[in-house]
Structure 1
Amino acid sequence: MPPALNIIALATFSAALSARALDPVLPHVAEDFSVSIATAASFAAAFAFTFAIIQPALGAFADIFGKARLMIVCLALLGIANILGAMATSFPLLFASRILAGIGSGGVFPIALGLTSDLVGAEKRQVAIGRTLAGAMTGNLLGATVSGLIGDFLGWRGVLAVLGGIVVLASIVVAIRFRGAALTHPPRTSLSALKQGYRTIFTNPNARICYAAVFIEGCCVLGLFPFIAAFLFELGQTSLSIAGVVIAGFAVGGLFYTMTVSRLLPKIGVNGMMIGGGALVGVQLIAVAMGPEWKLHLLSLIFMGWGFYMIHGSLQVFASELSAEARATALSLHAFFFFMGQTVGPIAYGFGIQHAGKVPTLLTAAAVMIALGFVCAKLLRQTRPADAAVT
């Protein structure tokens, strides 16, 4: 694997540190600003919506002006947004800082996937993407865990200040290391070629399946996260550190996926990964619905993360093959639909829990995820991009 993948993994690690930074401390944010948990959970929706809505523009800019440069700028923006959030004196100001953070985060991970796909051929791409994911999963793991620990000692403002400073520092380190990295850049895409790339993407029959599937994933799985701490509070477990550890379990499962994908893929194939992953996620959503103690919650989140990345990693590979000339655009659209799902998810979960109850809502999400694995395995077909010949 190219050494530059380690630099890309460092970038995704740094960005992922603050992706779920507020989830473990949401009850305290809600208390400080005298808002409900459901209202505080809107931070996740705002972050995800901004991340999503900026993707078409960022993907185009990356294909035209260069992926690495834009990724580094967005990483610095994310760190600054976190620091500004720590200084917010009102709920609207904190909300605005999360929107800014969504813009910064939106230019890191999808573009990192585009760089990874440029560097590695299709036959090794799922394993290479797994390494990039390992950086993100480690960041998610430490971010959720550390934010809970910092929250217990310094409050939610301390969480944003510390993680923001770390991300700004990381952006400088990544920029320095990229300067000396031996990257083989594909020719930058012109505006006319980009338009053709959009046509190539949306005439590929895999596009609508990939994008619909990641939207559903974001809604059913990531939409649950802002409510985990509240579920634990209902069970009498009010420690923010425990909430952070439980949420971090999902990232542990993601890391387990990155360590097992190279062995699982040859044995069960892509279809097996998608079916097995969807089923594993569904079973764990059922387990969470039953309201176990926090240790069993943690175990469920670990298995949920493993299953989620089995199906999600497969979808990322399909998305990377929608277009060769406009790969960053294709992957940014993939992220757009994924984070639109995360935007709708907290709202849908909040509505469902309020009107139908926790158990029926989570059981519905479980059924959808199990079905999704089978549908993707049946409909997605591995094909070369229509514009592959020009690369």
Structure 2
Amino acid sequence: MRADLTLLPLLALAGFAAGGGMRLLDPLLPLLAADLGVGVAALAPVVAGFTLAYGAGQLVTGPLGDRYGKVHVASFALVLYGLGLAVSAFAWDLSSMVVLRTATGLVAGAVIPLAIAWIGDAVPYEERQATIGRFLTGMVMAQLLIGPISGMVAEFAGWRASFLMLAALALVVGALLLRRTLRMPPERSEARGLGLGQYARLLGAPAGRRLMAAAAVDGLALFGGAFPFTGAYLIEIFGLNAGEAGLVVAVFGLGSFLYTRLARRMVGLLGETGLIAVGGATLAIALAGIAVAPGWWLVAVLQLPMGMAFYMFHGVLQARATEALPEARATAVSAFAMALFLGQSVGALAFGAVLHAAGYGAVFAGAAAVVAALAAWVAMTPAR
């Protein structure tokens, strides 16, 4: 029986709240450092703690979702995430902030993968790509809005107010989701037990190994390679200030949002293989263009097609993750997220070394080459 998709807007709001946790600190680091009496560089464990916990928590939250219900677990995680943000607003020193931020990341990581896994249960595969696109509207809008809003709130009321603002949103949406899930029939899962066995089954299948490898390389080239260095490239090479660089990078979010509106038509027009091929080629060309850009204006222009192309490419991989292990769908999507974060960690180190040795042009050119090779490989290999 088809699930009630009226839950989708509420899940998109949950994705907005959870995705906002990644961007919340972007404009707050100088204020937080000054308040805690440390330098900005000393806050690296605060940033890394949230990200690493967000990825590592997938090891547990996926099997929990399969065992106890994906939306049920995501709802409880969102409430705990809201409480974690609220308590973090009262951190009294660097150590307490590291601990609280890490704990918050641990539960934040449950929300988006479990929501995507629920869509996998609720929607036939031929409609899944477009539905995931609708859900991702929340996460994309978080990337666009949370940083600027957080900075404006902090400007008037301090960094703690920014934490409390997002905490309130997470708690309200989490409470609404819990209210809905209490009226939902329990999910019936074919998964047995709770542990690492489902991960072994996923990696035991050739298609599962290919998907995890693609996710890791995707994370390496884009999340760990091109994306983190774009702002610094604009500032150091083209002389933009932080605010101007942020506006340029925000154009990527506009492209992503445009994709969420056009996803259904694009899936029907291109199909999965076409989305992979066109999306991957567009990403590679845009990254190569950024590598040789004569001015910041070209970087800005290329952000729009990059935003669209990224979700064309990445969205297919996410949809395939929902079908990699249907009897333990939450575990499969969580494994995909773990592979992505692992690739991101390796990519940050690898491309950081490239930057040190050969400069920004080599970083973007290298990312373009990796994405082109990945897209060609994924397009030519069977999904199942």
Which structure 1 residue ranges, 5 or more long, are not aligned?
Answer: 384-391
The separation in 2 between residues aligned to 1:255 and 1:134, in whole angstroms, is: 6
Q: d(CA) in 2 for partners of 1:330 and 1:162? A: 32
Q: How far did 1:80 drift? A: 2.9
2:164 partner letter = A
**What is the aligned residue count?**
377
Q: Which letter does structure 1 place at the counterpart of 2:374?
A: L
Distance 1:174 1:295 in 2: 43
Change (3 A) 1:292 1:382: same
Which residue does the alignment assign to 1:211?
A: 212
1:102 Cα offset (Å): 1.8
SS in 1 for 2:326: coil
User: Contact (CA 8 Å) 1:78, 1:104: kept in 2 or not?
Assistant: yes
Q: How is 1:282-297 mapped onto 2 (pairs within 5 angstroms)?
A: 282-290=284-292, 296-297=298-299
Query: 1:275 offset after TM fit, Å?
Result: 1.7
Alignment of 1:80-159 (within 5 A): 80-154=83-157, 156-159=159-162
Q: How big is each residue's C-alpha offset from its partner over 1:202-235, in whole Å with a ceiling of 9 and x where there is no partner?
A: 2322111211111122222222444444344434
CA contact (8 A) 1:214 1:315 kept: yes
The one-letter code of the counterpart of 1:203 is G
| Greater alpha carbon shift after TM alignment, 136-145 vs 321-330 | 136-145
Q: Which amino acid aligns with 2:370?
A: V
Residues 227 and 168 of structure 1, relative CA distance in 2, 3 Å threshold = farther
1:311 aligns with 2:300: no
2:303 to 301, 317, 323: 301
Q: 1:165 aligns with which of 147, 165, 168?
A: 168
Aligned residues of 2:68 and 2:187 also touching (Cα < 8 A): no
Deviations 1:334-366 (A, max 9, x none): 111112223333333333323332221221112
Q: Distance in 1 between matches of 2:316 and 2:219?
A: 15
Counterpart code for 2:349: I
Q: Paired residue for 2:70? A: 67
Aligned partner of 1:335 among 334, 337, 344 = 337
Task: Name the stretch that deviates more: 218-227 or 336-345.
Answer: 218-227
Secondary structure of 2:325's partner? coil
- Paired letter, 1:207: G
Where in structure 2 are the equivalents of 1:1-391 lying within 5 Å?
Answer: 2-26=5-29, 33-36=38-41, 40=43, 43-154=46-157, 156-180=159-183, 185-187=187-189, 189-191=191-193, 197-223=198-224, 224-234=226-236, 235-240=238-243, 242-290=244-292, 296-379=298-381, 381-383=382-384
- Mapped partners of 1:293, 1:84: distance in 2: 44
Q: Deviations over 1:165-213 (max 9, x none)?
A: 3222322232234344x56733463318x77644542232211121111
Task: Please state whether the residue corresponding to 2:22 is helix, strand or coil.
Answer: coil
Partner Cα distance (1:125, 1:12) in 2: 17
Shift of the 359–24 alpha-carbon distance from structure 1 to 2, 3 Å rule, reads farther
264 and 79 in structure 1: CA distance in 2 versus 1, 3 angstrom threshold: same
For residues 311 and 354 of structure 1, the distance between their equivalents in structure 2, rounded to whole angstroms, comes to 29
Assess, with a 3 A threshold, how the Cα gap between structure 1 residues 184 and 190 changes in structure 2: closer, same or farther: same
Is the Cα–Cα contact under 8 Å of residues 24 and 243 in structure 1 kept in the other structure? no
| Distance in structure 1 (CA, Å) of the matches to 2:373 and 2:144 | 28
Question: Is residue 45–residue 344 contact of structure 1 (8 Å, CA) maintained in 2?
Answer: no
- SS of the residue aligned with 1:7? helix
The 1:70–1:278 alpha-carbon spacing in structure 2 relative to 1, beyond 3 Å, is same
Could you tell me which amino acid in structure 1 is paired with residue 218 of structure 2?
E
RMSD: 2.9
Letter aligned with residue 99 of structure 2: A
**Aligned partners of 1:187, 1:312: CA distance in 2, in Å?**
27
Structure 1 residue 114, shift from structure 2 partner: 1.0
Deviations 1:304-362 (A, max 9, x none): 22111111110112111111211111111011111222333333333332333222122
Q: For residue 151 of structure 1, report the CA deviation from its aligned partner.
A: 4.8
Q: Following TM superposition, by how much is the alpha carbon of 1:56 offset from its aligned partner in structure 2, in angstroms?
A: 2.0
Q: Supply the AA of the counterpart residue of 2:271.
A: G
Q: 1:41 to 1:363 in 2, by over 3 A?
A: farther
Rate the CA distance shift 1:160–1:258 in 2: closer, same or farther, 3 A.
Answer: same
Give the superposition deviation at 1:13: 2.0
The residue type equivalent to 1:64 in the other structure is R
Paired residue secondary structure (1:97):
helix
- Name the structure 2 match of 1:387: none
Please tell me whether the aligned partners of residues 147 and 244 of structure 1 are also in contact (alpha carbons under 8 angstroms).
Answer: no
Preserved contact between residue 45 and residue 343 of structure 1 (Cα < 8 Å): no
Structure 2 stretches lacking a partner, 5+ long: none
1:95–1:232 Cα change, 3 Å: farther
**TM-score with structure 2 length normalisation?**
0.86
Cα 1:53/1:3, change in 2 over 3 Å? same
Find the aligned partners of 2:355 and 2:185 in 1 and give their Cα distance. Answer: 48
